[in-house]
Amino acid sequence: MPRRRQAVTIKHVAADAGVSLQTVSRVINAEPNVRSEMRERVQESIDRLGYIPSIAAQRMSGSRSYLILALNDRDRTIEAWRARQGSDWVDQMLLGGMLKCAEHGYRMLFELVDTHDDHVERELTATLAALQPDGVILTPPHSDNPKITAFLESRRVPYARIGSTGQAGGIPLVMGDEGAAQEATRKLVELGHRRIGFIAGSAEYSLSEWRKAGWRGAMAEAGLPIDDLCVRGDFGYESGVDAARQLLALEPRPTAIIASNDQMALAARDVAEAQGIAIPGDLSLISFDNTPVTTFANPPLTAIDQPIAETVSQAVELLIAASRGEELPALPVIVPARLIERDSTGPAPLAG
């Protein structure tokens, strides 16, 4: 049988060019302290041998690891995976982050961390020691966990905070949650709705309060009462069921509901259906997130599309820029969400 061709390594390049491994690594990493003739010699060997740099070769210079680490909440992520209910938050994170990393010759790694663990610092210490990432991306609720952010600050590890204004450091990126909730509410007002209920998310997340603030602001702008029209859930389906039952028991009941995520919106739809309330004829419904389940619901849900992939992509870009000492834009970075109109919204029903 023919022998398998041996892969070209950094050692082959160094031997061919007659230089050290460290010199090859510095050329690969575009380090400034390499003479032009030496750079040309190494590059000629790279081209001649068809060498493709590996992460290990890039890391030999010691200046960068070429790894970006993304942290997501362990309990909520595992719960969503096991439920198999169509949440694609992690998919969108990886889509945006991995593609952007690849543009810059980086790799993105994904880890789960329990934000409620008293030993979170110990867990992070082990992770950072093993991977030595050039930057860390925090997603909610890690973004506003003072233990995690303080730990990264103490280790001088650059980090980006998705869904946080970054009052305590880091690179904050937000998805325009307050503005999106305002847009959703204004759309319902345009359709003639005056009793617009709101199902808020867990108070553990800053974005829950931003979404609630957007709804309150648009209601005030339209001169509409909010009294008992806001009920809090926890982003889970069952909490959405309880919240929807409370709202639909009001007299007069709301003619529209905005839910702070898709699972609670689906719960509201199911409660309405069980009570013989037609959507959108009797009740209009708008959701947040726009995960795949919204398009397969009956009817398909009008939803605020969260630009998760684009936000994580920008987080990677900013972390790499920070590691290079480049100037960052004004913070926080806002990646605006958008309203996707489908069949769950319509004109307010006529009174009486």
If asked whether residues 275 and 209 sit together in one domain, one would say yes
Give the other-Cβ count within 10 Å of 220's Cβ. 11
Omega of the bond prior to 172 within 30 degrees of 0, cis? no
129, two tokens: 């020691």
pLDDT of the residue at 256:
98
What is the distance between the alpha carbons of residues 86 and 262, in angstroms, rounded to a whole number? 10
| DSSP code string of 73-125 | EHHHHHHHHHHTS---HHHHHHHHHHHHHHHTT-EEEEEEE-TT-TTHHHHHH
If asked whether residues 312 and 171 sit together in one domain, one would say yes
If asked whether residues 200 and 186 sit together in one domain, one would say yes
- Position 5 in a domain: no
If asked whether residues 79 and 135 sit together in one domain, one would say yes
If asked whether residues 112 and 45 sit together in one domain, one would say no
Q: Report how far apart, in Å, the C-alpha atoms of 281 and of each of 94, 250, 261 are.
A: 38, 18, 22
pLDDT of the residue at 60:
53
Q: What is the DSSP code (8-state) at residue 285?
A: E
Q: Are 267 and 293 in contact (CB under 8 A)?
A: no
Full pLDDT tens readout for the chain, 352 residues: 444 445 788 888 889 989 988 888 778 766 667 888 888 898 898 888 888 766 555 555 556 778 999 999 888 889 888 888 777 889 999 999 999 998 888 899 999 988 777 788 888 988 888 888 999 999 998 998 889 999 999 999 999 999 988 676 899 999 999 999 999 999 999 999 999 999 999 998 889 999 999 999 999 999 999 999 999 999 999 999 999 999 999 999 999 999 999 999 999 999 999 999 999 999 999 999 999 989 999 999 999 999 999 999 999 999 999 888 888 898 899 999 999 999 999 999 986 4
- Position 346 in a domain: no
If asked whether residues 242 and 150 sit together in one domain, one would say no
Q: Are 266 and 296 in contact (CB under 8 A)?
A: no
134 burial (CB, 10 Å; 0-12 / 13-18 / 19+) is buried
pTM, full prediction: 0.80
What is the distance between the alpha carbons of residues 52 and 40, in angstroms, rounded to a whole number? 16
If asked whether residues 161 and 89 sit together in one domain, one would say yes
pLDDT of the residue at 48:
87
134, two tokens: 């050039």
If asked whether residues 313 and 171 sit together in one domain, one would say yes
Cα 63 versus chain centre, distance: 28
pLDDT of the residue at 323:
84
Name the residue range of residue 29's domain: 10-59
Cα 118 versus chain centre, distance: 24
If asked whether residues 165 and 276 sit together in one domain, one would say no
If asked whether residues 184 and 286 sit together in one domain, one would say yes
Query: Looking at the 3D structure of the chain, how many domains does it have?
Result: 3
pLDDT of the residue at 6:
55
